[in-house]
Amino acid sequence: AAGPRTAAMLDAEPKAVLVSLGFAGGLDPALRPGDLVVAGTYRHGDGETVGDANLAARVSILLVCLGIAAPAGVVLTTDEPLLTPDSKQRARAGGDHLVVDMEGYWIAGAAQARGVPHIGLHCVVDEADVALPDFVSRVATAPHRREWIHALGALRSVGAARDLSILARRARTAGWALQEAAWAVLEAVADGALPGGAHVAPESPSTSTMPPSGGR
């Protein structure tokens, strides 16, 4: 749904640049919760990549100069969340992916097809060696924005409720990091240091407190 939604937004009101924010699961073992990544390219499975590595490198340098560490690299977009360290390791072994998400490829593809520069910022919630509870898969793939029905259902289990609390705290931390980076990027766009100008389309994380590995 992310691709058609982004396409419809850009078709309805053309933008000079699209900035998207998203949670992600770490694939690079060096990345920890709260670490930021600028998407140089997005890869879906073994398919083609989309994105602008040169623009991502500029954004990464800009953020580093402002004291915000955010390496640029490849983001793997999957159709299902990666719940186990083994699944993340297999995904990492297939390429040089830094993190995994579930929407970035489609968002970037919609922007690229319309000639709109895209800046994708992602923040790690679960690192490469961390397993996620099974209910995350139901939350991540819930139709019609019904994630919280599954999240509330998880509260029936003491263990799941604890896991939910941990993920919620991590999501808040990631949200703060994304907000700081986003403001820096938007100010740079407004100042002319990055492509864009008055017509900037921000895309927020589609899941605010329950990010899966392959965060949305």
pLDDT (tens digit, 9 = 90+) per residue, 12-66?
Answer: 998 899 999 999 999 999 999 999 999 999 999 777 899 999 999 999 999 999 9
Strand locations in the chain, DSSP E?
17-26, 36-44, 49-50, 72-77, 97-101, 118-126, 200-203
Residue 71's closest CA among 124, 118, 117? 124
The helix/strand/coil state of 64 is helix
Burial class (CB in 10 A: 0-12, 13-18, 19+), 34: middle
pLDDT (tens digit, 9 = 90+) per residue, 114-158?
Answer: 999 999 999 999 999 998 877 666 666 555 555 444 455 555 565
Q: Are 113 and 28 in contact, with CB atoms under 8 Å apart?
A: no
pLDDT of residue 159: 65
Domain holding 39, by residue range, is: 2-201
Residue 207 lies in a domain: no
Residue 212 lies in a domain: no
Residue 214 lies in a domain: no
CATH number at residue 30: 3.40.50.1580
Residue 216 lies in a domain: no
**Single-letter code of the amino acid located at 88:** K
pLDDT at 89 over 50: yes
Residue 176 lies in a domain: yes
Residue 211 lies in a domain: no
Residue 112 lies in a domain: yes
CA distance 199 to 162: 42
Say which residue, 165 or 12, is predicted with more confidence: 12
Residue 213 lies in a domain: no
pLDDT of residue 157: 60
Q: What is the tally of structural domains in the chain?
A: 1
pLDDT of residue 141: 57
Helices 158-191 and 147-154, interaxial angle, to 10°?
140
